[in-house]
Amino acid sequence: CSPRDSCERADEPYRFAGSIRHCMSVTVQPSSISVSEHSLPLGVLVSDAPDLSAGVSCLFGNLTEVEGQVSGSRVVCVSPAAKDVPAIPLDQDWFGVVLQLKSRETGRTFVSTEFKFYNCSAHQLCLSCVNSAFRCHWCKYRNLCTHDPTTCSFQEGRINVSEDCPQLFPTEEILIPVGEVKPITLKARNLPQPQSGQRGYECVLSIQGVTHRVPALRFNSSSVQCQNSSYLYDGMDISNLAVDFAVVWNGNFVIDNPEDLKVHLYKCAAQRESCGLCLKADPKFECGWCSAEAKCTLRPHCAASPAQPWLHWSSRSVKCSNPRITEILTVSGPPEGGTRVTIRGVNLGLDFSEIAHGVQVAGVQCTPLPEQYVIAEQIVCEMGQALPGISSGPALLCIGECKPEFTAKSAQQYVFVTPAVSFLHPSRGPESGGTMVTISGHYLGAGSRVSVLLGNQTCEFYGRSMNEIVCVSAPSAHGLGAVHVSVSVDRARLEQTLLFEYIEDPKVQHIEPEWSIASGYTPLTVTGSNLDVIQEPRIRVKYNGKEFVNVCKALNTTALACLAPPLAPDYRPGLDTVERPDEFGFIFNNVQSLLVYNDTKFIYYPNPTFELLSPTGVLEQKPGSPIILKGRNLCPPAPGGAKLNYTVLIGETPCAVTVSETQLLCEPPNLTGQHKVMVRVGGIIFSPGSVSIISDSLLTLPAIVSIAAGGSLLLIIVIIVLIAYKRKSRENDLTLKRLQMQMDNLESRVALECKEAFAELQTDINELTSDLDRSGIPYLDYRTYAMRVLFPGIEDHPVLRELEVQGNGQQSVEKALKLFAQLINNKVFLLTFIRTLELQRSFSMRDRGNVASLIMTGLQGKLEYATDVLKQLLSDLIEKNLENKNHPKLLLRRTESVAEKMLTNWFAFLLHKFLKECAGEPLFMLYCAIKQQMEKGPIDAITGEARYSLSEDKLIRQQIEYKTLILNCVNPDNENSPEIPVKVLNCDTITQVKEKILDAVYKNVPYSQRPRAVDMDLEWRQGRIARVVLQDEDITTKIEGDWKRLNTLMHYQVSDRSVVALVPKQTSSYNIPASASISRTSISRYDSTFRYTGSPDSLRSRAPMITPDLESGVKVWHLVKNHDHGDQKEGDRGSKMVSEIYLTRLLATKGTLQKFVDDLFETLFSTVHRGSALPLAIKYMFDFLDEQADKHGIHDTDVRHTWKSN
């Protein structure tokens, strides 16, 4: 913009525009394009443009700048390329940029307009698409909004006007009772017919955040029906729930719903617990009261009868019985009447006519008011005048007729009272009104309405209680003077001579001082007249359109003490100029004349500001030194030399302040230490930091006395410490000598243990192998072996018996079984049969194992066919495992399918010969070797710990003194035959000895055919007559405290080469304890406990068992007490060696057994010297697994190895 003479070449056409009609304008064709259109030529026509032949650039906002092609006043600009067009936000369908034309001649932009990029695909519905401001088209069959109609698949599917859009039409309100199965029929227009491959219609309802999809049927292009369905929603606090509703097709193609149709679900019983509330419901819901069930229901859901009908609002003369009054509001009033009583309850009529003449309160007719009647719930009636003598009574109600079933009586009582007034306060107020007048008396809270008149002016009601009424006086209608006060409660007029005096409005004459600071709260004194009649005087200012108020207090009739209002709600140091408020005045009740008080020149000075005491915020001071606070605006330049009232606190103690223009001088109190400094002035509270007062004076007398006392006390403490140290040193020397002796003793014991351990390591393996007998390995026959694998735990399975059928059905059953056998031999049927069973949810793991075992039993004679079926099932299992994206290594880990159990049985059938001829012998020899090695040393019968253990957890970590004995056992089958020598330990319990004797006597007899140790007694024979029955517990058992030790051979002092015999169980008066019941309990308890040496599970690691006697609470032990019990003596603990010294026994045990372990694994896994027992079944199955891995592209050797390992 410039003068004409400053414009270059202003005389050339259109170079200078002297009026608005000569200004350039621009139009773009097209004025908008889609964001998916790039590098399109745009025609820009510039009117009133100068010569553009020098060249023009086109700028699209800050996106890009391109060269324009000029043709006269027309410029062709190319729209931005794809990389330059930013994405449109998801919630918008367009964004605009400023298209500017830039002159190459001057380098300036000379004209601009808005250019829009739009995105049709932002529209998800047809109507919003075609009604958009841009050239958008709707593809009906693709459910897509696009700028290019040629992208639509079908010509008839292109829509560009709203009338052609598929849309729902408004219909009657859709009402669906909860739980009712009903269809929903809707009117529509232009509903598309789904094409080939597209899904049909559905109705989608969102009920309390949960989406429900219901199949729908398209009748034609203008009608669709949601199929029969029922709907539910939670809660009985909602009687009618409006549900968002949509019709979709092909999964998610939404039909427009321009009228926002909703489905209304409703429950008749919700919030309609009574007959009245039920029949009061909107008739459209068709709810009625079911008398038989006392419930609001639909008619089909009510089992009605003539005596207990279903009541509906449309029924003739329908009335709800059993009305009930729950509450009465306004329970007292004057006998003159006029009190409005509110009665609330249940079933209070269905029409006003039913209750119009049927209400009595305290025996007085109460006239209902139709405008305040709430059907079935509330009646408001106006009391008539009470007759003399009536004091109180309940409310009575008749619905239509006063029969018992239509009559209600309240529990509350209505009381007639006589209100009275005694005095009022204050008795005078300003002529303009606004005085809060309190009238005192009795029963002033009774009735429903109260009226107070000051003369003929209404005193505006404010509140009341039983003892007072509060109202606000109105301006006087007759000037100054006293007026009569009249009070009415409903129709009762309270007769009492009360007067209220209107006096002249207060006046303000002077304000001192006429200034404050911006934060206000400086004291002001206001003088005038009648200032004491204002109940809550306040002072106000208005500044920058905002009003600020502060409080005043009346000192007397002519003076007020006020605090200046602030100019801002908070402290702002930036107010550094003198300000005058827009308005200044007072709020005195209704006195309007003083709201703006113009007879003052009240001004505000800038707020004082203070600097910090120091950069760190802490100022160090010596006692008595003054504290100087620097700042600005500390003394406003007010006339008369008036100053601000500063308060400075050091901690909680004030200090004397001297004020100058730029600093405050504070004489601190006699304090030491660090204290926070606070400055208060007007409405400002500010802390410039803290002051640390450090004293450097000489010690005072109290300090010297304190130091002397402390030194003496310290000297006494040092002497006591020295004496205690000397005594403690002497005790430590004695303890050190005692520990040295214990260490020497421990050292010798450790040396002995190491020597024994070394000797054990040198034990020749032949020492063990020579004792093992390979001739008596107890193999099971094939039939028993197979049954235990197929049906474990079942001794007498039906497959072992002949067919047992009652009656004449034998032939029919046999025929059916033959036919079923034929089906089983059909591979297609068998595979289908197994797959169908596995799809059943009730097909448990036990059922899978039984079915697999039964199939393998039936196909035992056709193993080639069974193998073929098994391979197919395993192939399906592998494929299913990979399809479910499970980790391949999990395959075959657990027997969870019929195929896996069949595989187990298949291996059991084919590997029996291998087990019997090859693998069985080394496995049994390893078992025997472990058992004999364990029994060479002590084994604790309670905890299971052993001297020769394979487990560190079960190693006895104490020195156990024991000796090997040889007992000569009488042959139980022939006492005249030679006695059998048996190796035992003198620390063995009697049960352990019996187990070892049984092993020696029945060396080659299977365990199932041997007698049990618990069924035999051990006799110690001393000569021909003396025989002693040895037991784990008897009357000789040693008991120490709460510990009882099991009897051993050492306890009975049995010597080497003693003669013993095993005899059937018997009772001995010597051996059985005095309490027979206790003995039986103990014996039965240890029968199951002492199974370590003779039973197969004796070598398993088991948790320590300390089994207290149930009757006496005694704990039992054998070789070592449980580690959890700390009742060993101090001396015992001191004599024990470090437990890890015994770990060498593990090495000795494992070294002794190594040959047997090697033999077993050599037999199982070596491919040398297998002979005819080579397990070809394993090789065959491993090859099959490799084929499956190749088929499914699994080349990870770890996966293949895991399959075979599983």
| pLDDT tens profile 992-1027 | 999 999 988 888 788 888 899 998 999 999 877 788
Q: Cβ of 297: how many Cβ atoms within 10 Å?
A: 22
Q: With beta carbons less than 8 A apart as the criterion, state whether 899 and 880 touch.
A: no
Mean pLDDT of 423-447: 94
Confidence of residue 1092 (pLDDT cuts 50, 70, 90): very low
Report the distance separating Cα 349 and Cα 355, nearest Å: 7
Angle at CA of residue 570, ends 566 and 576, nearest 5° = 70
Residues in CB range of 379: below 8 A, 6 or more apart: 342, 343, 348, 349, 355, 359, 368, 373, 397
Beta bridge partners of 656: 667
Angle between helices 827-839 and 845-858 (to 10 degrees): 170
Query: What would the DSSP string read from start to end of 524-546?
Result: EEEEEESGGG-SS-EEEEEETTE
The predicted structure's pLDDT at residue 775: 56
Measured in degrees and rounded to the nearest 5, phi and psi for residue 1180 equal -65, -45
Q: Which of 543-552, 701-710, 766-775, 1094-1103 has the highest mean pLDDT?
A: 543-552
Measured in degrees and rounded to the nearest 5, phi and psi for residue 1121 equal -80, 155
Mean pLDDT of 457-468: 94
The predicted structure's pLDDT at residue 228: 92
Q: N- to C-terminal Cα distance for the chain? A: 91
Report the distance separating Cα 694 and Cα 528, nearest Å: 54
The predicted structure's pLDDT at residue 1167: 62
Strand pairing report for 295-297 and 684-693:
unpaired
Report the distance separating Cα 296 and Cα 75, nearest Å: 77
Report the distance separating Cα 585 and Cα 578, nearest Å: 19
Q: With beta carbons less than 8 A apart as the criterion, state whether 944 and 1092 touch.
A: yes
Residues in CB range of 14: below 8 A, 6 or more apart: 22, 24, 48, 49, 50
Mean pLDDT of 350-364: 91
Which 3 state secondary structure label does DSSP give 645? coil
Residue 462 has pLDDT above 90, yes or no: yes
The predicted structure's pLDDT at residue 758: 62
The predicted structure's pLDDT at residue 1152: 84
Report the distance separating Cα 374 and Cα 381, nearest Å: 12
The predicted structure's pLDDT at residue 1169: 53
The predicted structure's pLDDT at residue 1084: 35
Burial of 35-66, coded b for 16+ CB within 10 Å and e otherwise, reads beeeeeebebebeebbebeeebbbbbbeebeb
Strand residues in 255-402 grouped as ranges (E): 262-266, 288-290, 295-297, 310-311, 324-329, 332-333, 340-348, 359-361, 364-368, 376-383, 392-398
Confidence of residue 759 (pLDDT cuts 50, 70, 90): low
The predicted structure's pLDDT at residue 248: 94
Closest CA to 173 of 101, 98, 266: 266
Structure tokens at 409: 């009586």
- Please tell me the least confidently modeled range out of 478-482, 931-935, 1004-1008: 1004-1008
Residue 773 has pLDDT above 50, yes or no: yes
Confidence of residue 1086 (pLDDT cuts 50, 70, 90): very low
pLDDT tens track for 1131-1141: 444 444 555 66
Using alpha carbons, list the distances in angstroms from residue 501 to 424, 536, 592, 1060.
Answer: 11, 19, 19, 131
Report the distance separating Cα 648 and Cα 664, nearest Å: 9
Closest CA to 864 of 1180, 1147, 631: 1180
pLDDT tens track for 212-235: 999 999 999 899 999 999 999 998
Block residue for tokens 């020899």: 925
Structure tokens at 529: 């007249």
Residues in CB range of 854: below 8 A, 6 or more apart: 799
Instruction: Report all structural domains of the chain as residue ranges with CATH numbers, in order of start.
Output: 4-118 (2.60.40.10), 166-266 (2.60.40.10), 275-311 (no CATH), 324-416 (2.60.40.10), 420-503 (2.60.40.10), 507-605 (2.60.40.10), 609-669+677-693 (2.60.40), 782-803+811-911 (no CATH), 938-944+953-1156 (3.10.20.90)
Structure tokens at 898: 């019929």
Residue 1174 has pLDDT above 70, yes or no: no
Alpha helices in 762-802 (DSSP H): 766-769, 782-790
Q: What percent of the chain has pLDDT over 90?
A: 36
Q: With beta carbons less than 8 A apart as the criterion, state whether 600 and 514 touch.
A: yes
Report the distance separating Cα 988 and Cα 1013, nearest Å: 14
The predicted structure's pLDDT at residue 97: 86
Q: With beta carbons less than 8 A apart as the criterion, state whether 526 and 560 touch.
A: yes
Strand pairing report for 109-118 and 32-34:
parallel
Mean pLDDT of 698-713: 80
Confidence of residue 755 (pLDDT cuts 50, 70, 90): low
Residue 979 has pLDDT above 70, yes or no: yes
The number of C-alpha atoms within 13 Å of 698 and in the hemisphere containing its C-beta is: 1
Q: With beta carbons less than 8 A apart as the criterion, state whether 548 and 569 touch.
A: yes
- Please tell me the least confidently modeled range out of 122-136, 562-576, 948-962: 562-576
Q: Cβ of 871: how many Cβ atoms within 10 Å?
A: 17
Closest CA to 1032 of 978, 1088, 951, 983: 1088
The predicted structure's pLDDT at residue 1010: 87
Residue 983 has pLDDT above 90, yes or no: yes
Residue 152 has pLDDT above 60, yes or no: yes
Confidence of residue 395 (pLDDT cuts 50, 70, 90): very high
Confidence of residue 339 (pLDDT cuts 50, 70, 90): very high
The predicted structure's pLDDT at residue 224: 94
Sign of CA dihedral 43, 49, 51, 57: negative
Mean pLDDT of 656-660: 90
Amino acid at the residue 853: S
The predicted structure's pLDDT at residue 1172: 47
Give Cα 640 distance to the centre of its chain. 71
Residue 644 has pLDDT above 80, yes or no: yes
Closest CA to 1096 of 982, 928, 956, 938: 928
The predicted structure's pLDDT at residue 165: 93
Angle at CA of residue 72, ends 66 and 75, nearest 5° = 25
The predicted structure's pLDDT at residue 1049: 92
Residue 1076 has pLDDT above 60, yes or no: no
Closest CA to 24 of 32, 14, 34, 33: 14
- Please tell me the least confidently modeled range out of 480-489, 694-703, 994-1003, 1196-1205: 694-703
Report the distance separating Cα 516 and Cα 522, nearest Å: 6
Q: Which of 4-18, 34-48, 1030-1044, 1061-1075 has the highest mean pLDDT?
A: 1030-1044
pLDDT tens track for 481-533: 999 999 999 999 998 889 999 999 999 999 999 999 999 999 999 999 999 99
Residue 913 has pLDDT above 50, yes or no: yes
The predicted structure's pLDDT at residue 762: 55
Strand pairing report for 64-71 and 158-159:
unpaired
Residues in CB range of 317: below 8 A, 6 or more apart: none
Instruction: Pick the more confident residue, 720 or 1073.
Output: 720
Our separate counts of H helices and E strands in the chain read 20, 65
Report the distance separating Cα 53 and Cα 59, nearest Å: 18
Mean pLDDT of 1127-1156: 66
Mean pLDDT of 163-167: 92
The predicted structure's pLDDT at residue 923: 86
Structure tokens at 1086: 């240890």
Which 3 state secondary structure label does DSSP give 738? helix
Closest CA to 809 of 801, 819, 820, 817: 817
Give Cα 866 distance to the centre of its chain. 53
Element (H, E) at 502: strand 492-503
* Number of residues in the chain: 1206
Angle between helices 1144-1165 and 920-935 (to 10 degrees): 170
Residue 293 has pLDDT above 80, yes or no: yes
Mean pLDDT of 173-191: 91
Q: Is 424 left (phi over 0), alpha (psi -120 to 50) or beta?
A: beta
Residue 29 has pLDDT above 50, yes or no: yes
Structure tokens at 1009: 């055919």
What value does the mean pLDDT of the chain take? 84
3-state helix, strand, coil in the chain (%, to 5): 30, 30, 40
Task: Report cis status (omega within 30 of 0) of the bond before 426.
Answer: yes
Confidence of residue 1087 (pLDDT cuts 50, 70, 90): very low
